[in-house]
Amino acid sequence: MPVEIYLGGEAEVRIYEDIVEKIRKPKRYRIPQLDEVLRKRRTKMEARIISMARRNGVATPIVLDVEGDKIVMERIKGQPVKHIMTPEISREIGKAVAKLHKAGIIHGDITPMNMIYCNDK
């Protein structure tokens, strides 16, 4: 059983004790066959980008599995950055974003609500 479930515009996120599942939601306005292809493709791409960011020195969860429209990742136990933002943490975020950009990765939704601070990372 999930410990917590979050429903966003793009996905349902199920948080368990040690893992997180992110499942992309179908878009009813799309042709179902196209929607399935897009969700699977975008899920694979997201997993690749997470792994690429990690290889370039950015702290990310480890992707454990990708199946269809679902990514399974390790759960990072920490605090949401939005609750503990400091100038020092802001500088660390800036360094991480610089690493992403140097690797050719553009996040598109960088916000403290999308970040977890754990063990000084």
How many whole angstroms separate alpha carbon 104 and alpha carbon 53? Answer: 9
**Domain regions of the chain by residue span:** 4-117
Model confidence over 88-111: pLDDT tens digits?
Answer: 999 999 999 999 999 999 998 888
Classified as helix, coil or strand, 65 is strand
Tokens found for residue 108: 């598109």
Q: Which residue in 35, 65, 109, 120 is the catalytic one? A: 109
Residue 35 bears catalytic tag: no
pTM metric for this prediction: 0.88
Domain 4-117, CATH homologous superfamily name and number: Phosphorylase Kinase; domain 1 (3.30.200.20)
* Alpha-helix residue ranges (DSSP H) falling in the chain: 32-55, 81-84, 87-102
Averaged pLDDT for residues 16-34: 96
